[in-house]
Amino acid sequence: MNEQKKLFLSLMVGAIGIVYGDIGTSPLYAIKNCFTAHKVALTEINILGVSSLIFWSLVIVVSFKYVFLILKLDNQEEGGILTLTYLCSKIKNKFSTYILTLGMIGTSLFFGDAIITPAISVLGALEGLSIISKESEVYIIPISLIIISLLFLNQKRGSAKIGMVFGAVMLLWFLIIGYLGLIQIIKVPSILLSINPYYAMKFLLLNKYVGILTLGTTVLVVTGAEALYADIGHFGKMPIKIAWYFIVFPLLVLNYLGQAALLMHNPKAIVNPFYLLAPDWFLYPLI
């Protein structure tokens, strides 16, 4: 393997760790919140509808909007909401002030996302302890604080070193959660019907106001998508694109559909569908 291919693979692995670390932890809590936040009934049509909304959110928002479209809009190989605002501000017209204001709002939202996501992701990961033992719940907050502190202490090492370590870990993570989802899909293959957008539309029409609220909750599955654009200066466009289309996207879809398939088979699994995909002996390693 020549040096160019090695560099490309290392950039792709680094992108999996840094760029997709956020969106890769959304399966921990996204499907559960879609049903519990608005008390959506766990009927077959609703499960198909919610999983269809999730699938098409990933396709439209991430695959099309960010990976296909917005990655083309860079400023000397740099991306992010500030870059987008700068490019728009170069077009002098009566809307320039409004564009700058929208850019500032978007930047604020990006900072807000960066602040709350580590806490949500770590807490979501450790919620699996409550499945193993109710007594373990008291350790969730202290362990979360330790993990977050260690993460921030290691930020000074730079994205190159952290990216390779996180990349290897996240690659293993995606492979595992994709495999767990695939097992459940094989058991309940009818969940593949949710790829048809008809079920997303039917869910919205049947549930009306609650359906719209649930659509808002599905934004959880695209949390961190902005990082695709913000980090093109670190990893380049092609490593980010290839990592998404051939690794991250298909494995995320397998896991989300696997969780939905589990709910069709056993609605009581809504307490934590992500961790209940795994066999009992694998819960501790997965956490």
| Per-residue model confidence as pLDDT tens digits over 227-257 | 777 777 778 889 889 999 999 999 999 999 9
* Distance between first and last Cα of the chain: 35
Mean pLDDT of the chain: 85
| Per-residue model confidence as pLDDT tens digits over 7-57 | 888 888 888 888 888 888 899 889 999 999 889 999 999 999 999 999 999
| Per-residue model confidence as pLDDT tens digits over 168-199 | 889 999 999 999 999 999 999 999 999 999 99
| Predicted local distance difference test score (pLDDT) of residue 160 | 61
| Per-residue model confidence as pLDDT tens digits over 66-119 | 889 888 877 666 667 777 777 777 777 777 778 778 878 877 877 777 777 777
Provide the residue ranges of all domains of the chain, joining segments of one domain with +.
Answer: 3-75+158-286
Confidence of residue 148 (pLDDT cuts 50, 70, 90): confident
This prediction has a pTM of 0.86
